[in-house]
Amino acid sequence: MADKRILFVTQEVAPYLTSRPLADQAKKLAEAFQGGKCEVRIFTPKYGAVNERRNQLHEVIRLSGINITIDDADYPLVVKVASLQPTRIQVYFIDSDEFFRKSSEDADPLGSSRDDNEERAIFFARGTTDTVKKLRWEPVIVQCAGWISALAPTYLRKMYADNPPQQDVKIIYCVLPGQITGQLPSGMESKFDGAKMPDEILRLLAEDPITTDTFHKIGIAGADAVVIADPDASPEVIAYAKESGLPIMTYEEQSQGPEAYSRFYDSLQAKS
């Protein structure tokens, strides 16, 4: 078994979304850690732009089938998997016809212009957490990247808190470029099916309007550390990260590549 297991929960990864620099960067980072003393797995949404046949995705029946409740409505979870070649990293896709089907009105493959992005983020975080729990694959580092993963740190932390062997897992939130352009409603805090959220998360969820910066701050509030991977990250988000007192990897540091990430991960584990 690998000495270090690293889970990447990311808004996109190549080659499943093509011609997107952020997807290419996510792939290169995961591949840099796979092998040797590291084992990597990736979770990402199964956007409609992902070609299932070309990329050889197939549904994992034992991981699919549950319903995720959002605002009193039930949505079935479908989990698909592919093997990232040549490293053979397992990539798990969180799928939903309701939230990730391709639309001619989408401004980009992520659907950043949709008006239900708060529910899409909840579904992705819940689907990821439930699937990780079923897999019983226990990482030491979890890196959640991009606005659609912003709630994953909070859900994963709640899950790991009930699992003593995993209480020392380090969860990182990575601020990526990209903006939500849809008009999100206020009152997002009412959509969690009774799940108890930390007070700071509830405070952020009550913001009106919900913006990309709100999502980034939610991700930071649920994490143990922060990576600023957006050269144009807003001063408000950077200030929030600094005020949190969490370890921060700056844009300049992370641009040095996988070795810089490795040092950052090691520094977090040394504090356990």
Tens digits of per-residue pLDDT, 165-177?
A: 677 899 999 999 9
End-to-end Cα, the chain, rounded Å = 21
Indicate the residue type of 26: A
* pLDDT score, position 3: 75
Residue 135 has pLDDT above 80, yes or no: yes
Q: 19 lies in which domain range?
A: 4-270
Instruction: Assign residue 149 a region (left: φ > 0; alpha: ψ between -120 and 50; beta: otherwise).
Output: alpha
Going by C-alpha positions, the residue among 195, 197, 238, 202 that lies closest to residue 220 is: 238
d(CA 118, CA 75): 14
Domain count, the chain: 1
Under DSSP, is residue 158 helix (H, G, I), strand (E, B) or coil? helix
178 in Cβ contact with 112 (< 8 Å): yes
Pairwise pLDDT comparison (167 vs 92), residue with the higher score: 92
211-220 residue pLDDT tens: 999 999 999 9
What is the share, in percent, of the chain residues with pLDDT greater than 70? 95
CATH label of the domain that carries residue 39:
3.40.50.2000
Contact of 6 with 53, CB cutoff 8 Å: no
Q: Please indicate whether residue 2 or residue 219 has the higher confidence score (pLDDT).
A: 219
